[in-house]
Amino acid sequence: MVELDFEKSGGLIPAVAQDWQTGEVLMLAYISPESWEETLRSGYATYFSRSRNQLWKKGESSGHLQKIHSILVDCDLDSVIFKIEQLGPGACHTGHRSCFYREVTGDGLQETAAAVFDAGKVYQVKK
């Protein structure tokens, strides 16, 4: 198994989920050594939830799994890109396809994409 440098950041490193076809970045979350192993083993993006302090198979409750197509690692082995196929309508707990649905404009934020699903129905608790 490819060994990543989890030590430098205190045990978790960032993973960027990118649509394998369009290149759209859908979310950024963190992985632990166990997440890494489980992602490689299962073929589905598995993060570590900092708020719940536990392994987090993305989409386990919503059904919006992220199927891994390939994985890129950076020069220092302390961040990764999951090139994924997003199952279901989107990745974000707000109902948007991407968590990055707002752009900085002047001193504020502007939505660049509308929600694509009803987050209230899909998620019972905020991720």
Contact positions vs its own copies (CB under 8 A): 1-2, 8, 14, 16, 18, 22-25, 27-28, 40, 50, 70-76, 79, 81, 92-94, 96, 99-104, 107-109, 112
Which residue, 57 or 93, has its beta carbon nearer to its own copies?
93
Which residue, 25 or 87, has its beta carbon nearer to its own copies?
25
CB 7 → its own copies: shortest distance, Å?
Answer: 13
Which residue, 6 or 100, has its beta carbon nearer to its own copies?
100
Q: Which residue has the tokens 């998620």?
A: 123
CB 63 → its own copies: shortest distance, Å?
Answer: 19
Among the listed residues 32, 36, 82, the one whose alpha carbon sits nearest the alpha carbon of residue 54: 32
The whole-angstrom separation of Cα 25 and Cα 37 is 22
Q: Which residues contact 84 (CB under 8 A, 6 or more apart)?
A: 17, 18, 19, 20, 26, 45, 66, 67, 68, 69
